[in-house]
Amino acid sequence: MRSSRLSALSKLTAALTVTAAALSGCSASTSGQAQAEYRAPLTADGKPDLNGIWQAVNTAHWDLEGHPARKGPVAQLGAFGGIPGGMSVVEGGEIPYQPWALEKKKQNAAKWLELDPAVKCYLPGVPRATYMPFPFQIVQGADQILLAYEFAQASRTVFVNGKDSSPLESWMGWSNGRWEGDTLVVDASGFNDQTWFDAAGNFHSEALTVVERYTRTGPDHLMYEATIEDPKVFTRPWKIQMPLYRRVEQHAQLLEFKCVEFAEELMYGHLVKETTQQ
């Protein structure tokens, strides 16, 4: 009798497993189909409308790779100074550094507050500006697209179908864009070597190029991808991917974050103290 009951229970469990798998597959198929069928509203020139204020909601700003929660460098901040754990946004999980570059990355991480350019309110660069814990705005025109970031009032212009290159190296580089179907593709180059990818010390050289892809996947969602190439630092090109979310609250707007004054004490406080002591 017991053997018969176990057999019946086993058959019932197997049937439920098959049913659940079928329902899951149906749900995934329906979800994928709904996403594939989404059509973004169009601008006057017939392109997908990317206008709006967008923001990443993840921990990529702290570390692009997967990482556990850890104590921050400023003990006085207590729990608020802790660095939250997060999953990797890097395809394959790890950034493919050359051996010497991996060692430099570790050295950067060990001296984060001293070396991170963003801590000093320098322009964040690309792609870091996209996933800092601040919103950014897309203002879309037919020939030019403005990307305005709240952090440090950074901005960049994407020249649609542009062919020019940067006359000199800069923090935010030079961006030429083109449309591939419903996706805006941005080729960014002309960077200096002064920006980092995150607060974990991930860095690049002046040979950096970034190919970004912006795709509307829903009324309030953009899928963001960036393929990063720098033969001086990495063994091969690598990619990050994350969703961006529209800020939908009433009267959403970029606010001022003039961080220079917040960084003055950090950068120049020792000079004031030396003068006072004299």
The residue ranking higher by pLDDT, 21 or 225, is 225
**What pLDDT band is residue 135 in, cutting at 50, 70 and 90?**
very high
User: What's the average model confidence in pLDDT over 219-223?
Assistant: 97
What pLDDT, on the 0 to 100 scale, is given for residue 154?
A: 96
Q: Judge whether 154 and 124 are in contact, CB under 8 Å.
A: yes
Is 80 exceeded by the pLDDT of residue 267? Answer: no
Give the residues across from 146 on adjacent strands: 139, 157
pLDDT of res. 32: 46
Q: Does 14 score more than 50 pLDDT?
A: no
- C-alpha–C-alpha distance, residues 192 and 206, integer Å: 5
pLDDT digits (tens, 9 = 90+) for 76-131: 889 999 999 999 999 999 999 999 999 999 999 999 999 999 999 999 999 999 99
* Calpha distance 278→272 (Å, rounded): 10
Res. 28: pLDDT tops 50: no
Q: Look up residue 263 and give its two tokens.
A: 């960084």
Nearest 5°: CA angle at 82, between 70 and 273? 115
Note the pLDDT tens digit of each residue in 172-213.
999 999 999 999 999 999 999 999 999 999 999 999 999 999
266, pLDDT greater than 80: no
Where are the chain's structural domains? 1-37, 52-263
Kindly report the pTM of this predicted structure: 0.84
Instruction: State the amino acid at position 259 in one-letter form.
Output: C
CA-closest candidate to residue 140, choices 153, 165, 159: 159
Given pLDDT bands bounded at 50, 70 and 90, which one contains residue 276? low
